Structure 1
Amino acid sequence: MGTKSFRKIKLFEKEKGREILLLAPLFILLMLFLFIPFLSVIKESFYDSFGKLSLINYKNIFQKSYMEALKNSLSLSIATSLLGVIFGTIISFYISKSKGMIREWLYTITSLPLTFSGLIIAYSFMITLGSSGTLTLILQKIFGIEPLEFSSYLYTWKGLTVAYLYFQIPRMIIIMISAWGNLDWSLVEAAESLGAGTITIIKRIIIPVLWPSILAGSVLLFAVSMGAYGTALALTGVSVNILPLTIYTQVSDVSYNLPQADALSVLLTFVTTFSIYIYRRTFAKM
């Protein structure tokens, strides 16, 4: 082996060692705050309330109330993901086509909801659209609406869907702005010059280019909706039966059952992880 080859090997080993050293803090953080806690959750889920090994918590998952919570969470997550993808894609298109300061301001405004916690978002909706909310009182004076009747929708599935979209749409906008930037508009112009209609251009050119970002965004929105509970808890309490709130009730003072909460948490993690797995399989085939 020559001197040059030996130097290359030493340089490679040095760079590899440097990369490992740089990644070590991230690995330690993941171990301490993700993998070890999750393994602990899995372990505790196999114990009953008396501390004995049992599968009772996983059998209980198939009870009607838990299955209803899972179904409601899936319905809410799918609905908010689809609406978030549609509105986020459309809004991001107009932001990407704007210029200069206007684009920067629009991007900043749409990103603001992501800096707020779920509780702040929920209380903001209450202050604005509650029975004594600012917008509610304005609408009462202008259109003569009944405040209690108008605000009652805020604490139902409809209000929860709107509140979820408030922080889902900005996520999709951020993802799609870069996707619109990667679109070669000369292809669109060429298709138009050849007589292609708007629908044909969208189907044959725009959607294929944007599809990876749309798919990634939809999976992200779905995962966020499945796990979100702060907004729902503040708006509806535990009157809405979704999986995150069901888990919360299992560790509350009303009904403390930590092993059952662990099993439901494993179920929630499995659903979100499975959605990511489907995305990766779909993306690999593209």
Structure 2
Amino acid sequence: METKYISTIKNEIRRRSLLWLPFIFLIILVLSFEIIPGIYVLINSFITNSGIGLSNYIKVFTSKFYLMSLTNGLTVSICSSLVGLIIGTCAAICLKSLKKDIAERLVSIVNMTSNFSGVPLAFAFIVLLGANGLITIFFKSKLGINLYSSGFDLYSWMGIILVYIYFQIPLAIMLMYPAVYAINDDIIEAASTLGASKFTIWTKIEIPTLIPSLAGSLCILLANSLGAYATAYALVGSNKNLVAITIANLVSNDIASDPSLASALSMVLGGILMIFVFVKIKLIKNID
């Protein structure tokens, strides 16, 4: 029976061979731009001036500078992910309360805004909230409030987190909308009929139902922000010790370049990202 089933699959592949052509190109692209470069980075991370060894990894975990870059990256990632997840979840709940056709249109708009990141996003924030930005000048001239004298600075850690939150929110909405939409309204109506308050419904039904999705979405948001580079670099350049910027400086710096050390730092960053992805996969399995 099993042999017959395998033969049927082989016949289907032969009969529909043209349908596999796009996957062949996809495999070539993945090998060329992900797997082969990843293997090269892994091998290069062990190369030192004296041969092959772990000195690059030892330097990453013993140097205060590189540990600080990892700490800063995790801090920015955690702060922006938590705020983005809270706002995105609230927005997803609001979308569910709308008519389905209106909600779907808004979700399409959110999907488009989720692709607005990198250098264009940083430039947009500079135009609006830079030292001479539109909003900054408006507050100063019309309301008599100087944002930068009040402590706000777009080119500080506060500004980086603010920009990161912006591109985290659409992704959080896209991740949480299906989970919010999947909440069974019949159970909520039954609980209301039995006299349950809105607070009880939230704490006993809705929040427990959303917790696995919230945890999984948080892992994705953490991975998304931790690996972001172009937005932060366009905003602050090399002035902030952020892990993604540090890796780029080690590769492109003419004076203090060290590609092998950059490879080791990249592998550590990749390991952290894989931990987030692994946790997310385990959470999804627990849901199923």
Q: What is the TM-score when the length of structure 1 is the normalising length?
A: 0.89
**Could you give the per-residue CA deviations for residues 56-92 of structure 1, whole angstroms, max 9, x where no partner exists?**
2111102111111111111111111111111100011
SS in 2 for 1:174: helix
**Identity value in percent:** 34
Q: 1:256 to 1:89 in 2, by over 3 A?
A: same
Contact 1:129 1:151 in 2 (8 A): no
> What's the offset of the Cα at 1:261?
0.5
Q: Distance in 1 between matches of 2:116 and 2:192?
A: 43
Contact 1:136–1:151 (CA under 8 A) maintained in structure 2: no
Alpha-carbon deviations, 1:176-228, whole Å to 9, x = none?
Answer: 22222222111111111112222321232212332333222111110011100
Aligned partners of 1:120 and 1:150: how far apart in 2? 27
2:282 and 2:156 map into 1 onto residues whose CA distance is 36
Letter in 2 for 1:127: V
Q: Distance in 1 between matches of 2:55 and 2:279?
A: 29
Count of aligned positions: 282
Contact map agreement 1:136 1:150 (CA 8 A) in 2: no
Structure 2 CA distance for partners of 1:61 and 1:190, relative to 1, 3 Å: same
Correspondence 1:80-91 to 2 at 5 A: 80-91=80-91
Q: CA deviation at 1:12?
A: 2.9
Matching residue's letter, 2:10 = E
After TM superposition, where is structure 1 displaced by more than 4 Å over at least 4 residues in a row? 5-9, 16-20
| Structure 2 CA distance for partners of 1:259 and 1:8, relative to 1, 3 Å | closer
Farther off after superposition, 75-84 or 207-216:
207-216
Tell me if structure 2 keeps the 8 A contact 1:130–1:151: no
**Residue of structure 2 in register with 1:186 after alignment:** 186
Q: Which 5+ residue runs of structure 1 have no aligned equivalent? A: none
Aligned twin of 2:59: 60
Counterparts in 2 of 1:238-253, with a 5 A limit? 238-253=238-253
- The Cα shift of 1:46 comes to 0.8
Deviation digits for residues 211-256 of structure 1 (CA, Å, limit 9, x no counterpart): 3332221111100111001111111222221211111110123421
Greater displacement, 198-207 / 85-94: 198-207
Name which of structure 1's ranges 161-170 and 96-105 shifts more when overlaid on structure 2.
96-105
Residues 105-126 of structure 1: CA distance to partner in whole angstroms, max 9, x if unpaired? 5334433332223111111000
- 8 Å CA contact 1:88–1:170 kept in 2: the answer is yes
Amino acid across the alignment from 1:166: Y
Conserved in 2, the CA contact under 8 Å of 1:131 and 1:151? no
Q: In the TM superposition, what is the alpha-carbon distance from 1:6 to its structure 2 partner?
A: 8.3
Residue 99 to residue 151, structure 1, CA distance change in 2 (3 Å)? farther
**Which residue identity does 1:239 align to in structure 2?**
N
CA distance in 1, matches of 2:92, 2:157: 26
SS at match of 1:240: coil
